[in-house]
Each structure stands twice: as C-alpha cells, then as structure tokens.
Amino acid sequence: MDEKIDVNALFLGPKAENYLFFREMLAFLMDDHAEWRRHFHPDDNPVVTPEDQGRREFLATLQKTREALIELAGNLQLCSTPWFSPRYLGHMATDTLIAANLGYMLTILYNPNNCAYEGSPATTALEIEVGRQLAKLMGYDPQKAWGHITSGGTVANYEGLWLARNLKSIPLAIRSVMPELVARLDAWQLLNLPTGAILDLVDRAKEAGRFDEVRRHSVRGAGMRDKGLGKVLVPQSKHYSWTKAVDIFGIGQENLVSVPVGDDYRMDVAALKTIIDGLIAERIPILAVVAVVGTTEEGSVDELHEIVRLRDRYEDRGVCFYLHVDAAYGGYARSLFLDGEDRFLGFTEVSRQHSRQGILHDDTEWLTVDVYEAFKAMPEADSITVDPHKLGYTPYAAGAIVAKDRRIIELISYFAAYVFEATDDNPMLLGSYIMEGSKAGAAVAAVWMAHRVVPLNITGYGRLIGASIEGAYRFYRSLLADPPLALDGRSFEVIPLARPDLNIVDYAFHEQGNPSLEAMNRLNQALYEQCSYKSGPLYVNDFITSKTALTRQEYGETPRSYGGKFGIDPAEWERLGSISVLRSCILTPYLTRAACFADYWRTFRGAMERAIRRIGPPA
C-alpha cells in the first residue's frame, strides 16, 4: 500500500484545527482502557465504592488534583514554546504527530517498562519491530541488523562509541586467550582489523566456549589500561555529546580529533585524509571516524560516500576504523529517497518522483549529487544514530541506534544472548544490551504509531520532510533575494551562512557600512533576544528563533570567509574569533504554499524591523 499521506491530517495544527478528531481518540483511549481494567477478573468486587466516592476527603482530594492540573496548565501555557506555530523557527522541535501523541497517551496508562520483557511484553516487541524498521530505513538488512530506541541521540552516540571501543579491543584480547586464531598478526594489524573480521573472531571464540574469557581480557573486563586503542575523529561540526562520550568511556579528550569543515560546514574529506595519514605515520590507530548527516547547527550533510571510499582504500592498506554516522537529525530524511516499496531510487528518479508526487515543487531545487550520494552510502557505516524525536516528529524521549551487524551487541551485553536466543530471535531483556535500564514503553509505542501511519519512504515521511525542506528553501531564497531592510535612514542586509543541505538555515543581519564584527555580533545577539524567551513571555513574540556562535575554538578559521561576505575587517575576526548567527530549524510543514508564504515573509520582515527598532542604534 503506498497511498500518500496528507500532511494536513498529521498534526493537531497551529490553530488546533484537528482538535475534534484528537478529542474523539482521547475519549476512545480512556474508554478502552477502562474496559480493559474492568474485564480483568470481572467478578472481583470494586475496591472504591460509590459511598467512598461521596466522602468529603475523597472529593477534596479530587479537587486538589484538579487544582494542581490547572496550575500546571497555567505554567505550561505561560512558559512553553509554541513549537506548533510556523512563527517558531528555532531549535530542532516542532509539533508532534497526532498518531505518536495518541500512542504515547494510551500507552502511559499501561506504563510498560522496556527494560525487561516481563514488564512490557507488548512494547518490547514494538521496540524490536521499530528497530528493524529504522535499520531498513538506513538501508541495512533488517534480519542482520540491530536497532533499538534510546532516550535520545546523545545516548545513541554513547552506545555507538561503546560498541566501537569494545570492538577495537577484542583482537588483542583474542591474542591473550586464543593466540592461535591471530597467529602472524602483530599489534598494529590487530588494531586494524575490519569490523566483520573481528565479529568472525568473536564467533570462533564463542564456538570454542571461550568468549567470556575474551571479554574479560577486552576493555570491558580490563578497562582502558592502555590508551592504545587510538583516536576518535569527528568533524568540527560535531554535537557535543561526542565530547562527553570520550570522557565517559575513558578515551579522553586528547584522543578526540576535530576534523576541519569547509565553507559548506561539511567535513573536509581531504583534511580527514591528511589527519589519518599523519596518524598512520606515527603508528597511532584510529578507533572510529564519525560522520554527521545533518549537523546540529547547520543541518549539513557530510560527504559520507567520500568517507566510505576513503575507508575502503585504507582497509586495502591494512588500516581499519569503525565508522559511525551521527544522523540524529538527518536520518529520517532518508525516506525521501525510498519509493513506495522502500527501494532506494536513482538520482534522476528521485527528483522526478518528488515533482510528480508533489513532494517538492520544481522551483525548490534542493537536491544535490553530494547529498544524494551521502544518503545512499549510509548502509556502509557500522552504526547510525537516528532520532525519532527530531525529524521523526514524535514526542520525547526517543532516539535510536541501529547497527549493521547485530552480532556486535554481544560486546556490550550483560546477558548470554546467544544462549537464550536459540529459541527466539528476539533479545527480550533489552536492559542487558543497552545503556539504559528502566525506560518508557510509551515512547516506543509513540514511534511505532508514527511509523504505522507515516511510512518510512516517499509516501510518508518523505512528504512530510519534503514539505519542511521546501519551506526552508523558500525561507533561504527569500533571505538571498530580498532587498535590505531600510529603517530610519539605516540599512540592514541579511546573508545566509550556506545553502542548506536539509532544512536548517543560519543567517545574520548586518548594518550596511559597518566594518565592526563586534557591532554585528551585538546586533544578532540582540535580535535573538527579541525573538526568544529572553524578551518575555513567548506568547507575545512575533517570531521565535535560536542562535549559535561560529567560534574559532569549534570551527577553526572556517567562519572567517562568512564574515568577509559582510565586508567585515579580517582583523576583527582575528581579534574576536566568533560570529553570532541566527539559526532556524525549519521543521514546520506549513510553509509550502506560495501565497501563504508571501504573507509569512511579510510577517517575518515586519518582525525583524520592529525588533531592530526596539534595539535602537548602536551605543
């Protein structure tokens, strides 16, 4: 079935347009759940009687609950961010799918705990299913792969590094326990085996009944006694969970290497090669390379296909590293490339389908060969982080990790999965394979509902994410095309940072003729304050966005050229080493209609004009 979904039916809507349907479903789930309770041993007497329910204390307790709820509702309304509105273009957040919300709300009444099957027979099975769906979305073979829901991309990244670290330490452990399996290989070669070869060694250790012994000799048993497992290479654009991860896993900050990014804020693959060559020359192994599909600040897509090609070439030379893709943000966008039967489309076919099916209007001109090839190359990675609570449009907390070869989870599991899996393919005791313990089955049910209603291909998520990309491109092209804002004899230009690879647009305002980066940063910081919680209750804001700073510490000298576009004196960049920009993650699917967008754009410009007036001239 590849009937297209209608994006307008997916959300409660900016004006709660789909409220009646939502309420009807809420009534259904309450009634249905109450029936479930009543039918459990129907002959048991009710515990709470009508007489109890008439008591003063009883009524007072209900009243207390009502008042607490009203108080909470007031707090939430006063202080919450209106993600649902197209006027909100800030962080990676937007309205969540009705289907996912209902799934969450229904399931919370059952409160399953996906730590152990016993506490969640229904939702553990859903988690395994959802893991397979995400593995398939990434192009992995769902039968061979492994995937599960985490609390978010941060924990998924931790798990990715946990897998990589434990894997890297296995060959040396094998040498201690079963040297005959790795005879003739020296330490360098043992630290440079490909993932598949290491997992084959693990299989042989298991067959010999000595896997537990191997694990005891690996980093898992012995700890990070030597720092010889090597470096973790991440682009400068990395999410800061990687900085935390090397700390937590005892790898150390000094072993985290930042690979420069280019003007497109994608990893500079030539620089990656130079770094790897330098490490090889010093006989320092590479524990892992992390590529990002959808950077947190820019939405940039690293040229994964080039990184994969590089990896394969090094592998031929006996240098191997684990490859993890951090697609926490961009992962779901792979659905834009899968047809109704989940086949990855050819390049020309993608654009044809997008225009034929009305996913993107022709004038959007979004897709580039690089972005296409990067998404195509994703199944070449060892593992991938992908967050349902970002471009999956589900409520928190739902991230996910998928790994290409499920055998790898033995390296982090605390249960002899291979023993009890003999009868069942599903590892049911999730808590022994993952970082977390108790975890909400409700979050999993929400993801399952989302996937059930919105297929993970161009008939479903492709349409939804396509609409957001189209909105982002309208926004981006309007920033490029618009004349400067003329205000009281002053003139303000706005320039976007880079052509968006997905749907995040970074941009900065600048008073024409001003050579001072300090003044420009002050202006954009002040604009952010006018367009965020900082200016008071969000409910009265005209427009809400987020910001980021492109600093030398994070990005090296890359941001200098962006400053140049405004005519900023390079000496100012030398001195300050930081450019403040506004950052708009455009997840809303409601900016696609040209006529509506024209109105929207006028509103945006008006909001910016008023904000600049309020800020006033520089001191």
Residues 471, 455: Cα–Cα separation, whole Å: 21
Whether 418 is a known active-site residue: answer yes
Question: Interface residues for ligand PLP in 316-335 (CB under 6 A)?
Answer: 326, 328-329
Stated as kind and residue range, the H or E segment containing 105 is: helix 98-108
Q: Out of 101, 133, 195, 296, name the contact with ligand PLP by CB under 6 A.
A: 296
Cβ 271 to ligand PLP shortest distance, Å: 19
Q: Which is nearer to ligand PLP, 268 or 302 (CB)?
A: 302
Q: Which is nearer to ligand PLP, 510 or 583 (CB)?
A: 583
Residue 241 binds ligand PLP, judged by CB under 6 A? yes
Task: Extract the tokens encoding 361.
Answer: 């209007």
Question: Interface residues for ligand PLP in 400-419 (CB under 6 A)?
Answer: none
Q: Which stretch binds ligand PLP (CB under 6 A): 75-83, 179-187, 288-296, 492-500?
A: 288-296
Residue 559 binds ligand PLP, judged by CB under 6 A? no
Residue 154 binds ligand PLP, judged by CB under 6 A? yes
Question: Interface residues for ligand PLP in 457-516 (CB under 6 A)?
Answer: none
Residue 399 binds ligand PLP, judged by CB under 6 A? yes
Task: Extract the tokens encoding 192.
Answer: 């440079």
**Dihedral sign for Cα atoms in the order 4, 138, 398, 244:** negative
Residue 573 binds ligand PLP, judged by CB under 6 A? no
Cβ 95 to ligand PLP shortest distance, Å: 17
Cβ 154 to ligand PLP shortest distance, Å: 3
Residue 431 binds ligand PLP, judged by CB under 6 A? no
Task: Extract the tokens encoding 384.
Answer: 């991938």
Q: Which is nearer to ligand PLP, 191 or 261 (CB)?
A: 261
Residue 387 binds ligand PLP, judged by CB under 6 A? yes
Q: Which stretch binds ligand PLP (CB under 6 A): 207-215, 290-298, 313-321, 486-494?
A: 290-298
Neighbours of 425 (CB within 10 A): 9
203 to 165, 191, 209, 408: CA distances (angstroms): 18, 18, 10, 10
Tell me how many degrees the CA angle 117-122-123 measures, rounded to the nearest 5. 80
Binding mask 70-109 vs ligand PLP (x if CB under 6 A, - otherwise)? ----------------------x-----------------
Question: Interface residues for ligand PLP in 123-152 (CB under 6 A)?
Answer: 152
Q: Out of 165, 239, 305, 404, name the contact with ligand PLP by CB under 6 A.
A: 239
Cβ 459 to ligand PLP shortest distance, Å: 26
Q: Pick from 265, 182, 234, 252: which is nearest to 500 by CA? A: 265
Active-site pick, 117, 396, 418, 533: 418
Q: Pick from 457, 131, 156: which is nearest to 329 by CA? A: 156
Question: Interface residues for ligand PLP in 449-468 (CB under 6 A)?
Answer: none
Q: Which stretch binds ligand PLP (CB under 6 A): 291-299, 307-315, 495-503, 601-609?
A: 291-299
Tell me how many degrees the CA angle 438-135-156 measures, rounded to the nearest 5. 40
Cβ 324 to ligand PLP shortest distance, Å: 11
Cβ 297 to ligand PLP shortest distance, Å: 9
Q: Pick from 494, 513, 511, 479: which is nearest to 562 by CA? A: 494
Q: Across-strand partners of 583?
A: 506, 546
Helix (H, G, I), strand (E, B) or coil at 440: strand
Residue type present at position 299: G
Exposed/middle/buried for 34, CB within 10 Å: 0-12, 13-18, 19+?
exposed
**Dihedral sign for Cα atoms in the order 509, 514, 518, 519:** negative
Residue 292 binds ligand PLP, judged by CB under 6 A? yes
Number of residues that bind ligand PLP (CB under 6 A): 15
420 to 135, 199, 273: CA distances (angstroms): 23, 19, 44
Neighbours of 67 (CB within 10 A): 10
Residues 550, 548: Cα–Cα separation, whole Å: 7
Cβ 296 to ligand PLP shortest distance, Å: 4
* Residue bearing tokens 């992995």: 140
Helix (H, G, I), strand (E, B) or coil at 619: coil
Instruction: Give the pairing type, strands 399-403 and 544-551.
Output: unpaired
Cβ 511 to ligand PLP shortest distance, Å: 32
Residue 393 binds ligand PLP, judged by CB under 6 A? no
Task: Extract the tokens encoding 12.
Answer: 């409660």
Q: Which residue is nearest to ligand PLP (CB)?
A: 153
Cβ 298 to ligand PLP shortest distance, Å: 10
Q: Which is nearer to ligand PLP, 296 or 580 (CB)?
A: 296
Residues 532, 91: Cα–Cα separation, whole Å: 11
Q: Which is nearer to ligand PLP, 296 or 524 (CB)?
A: 296
Q: Across-strand partners of 409?
A: none
Q: Pick from 384, 388, 389: which is nearest to 401 by CA? A: 384
Q: Which stretch binds ligand PLP (CB under 6 A): 131-139, 153-161, 447-455, 584-592?
A: 153-161
Q: Which residues are catalytic?
A: 418
Question: Which residues in this chain contact ligand PLP in the complex, by CB under 6 A?
Answer: 92, 152-154, 157, 239, 241, 292, 295-296, 326, 328-329, 387, 399
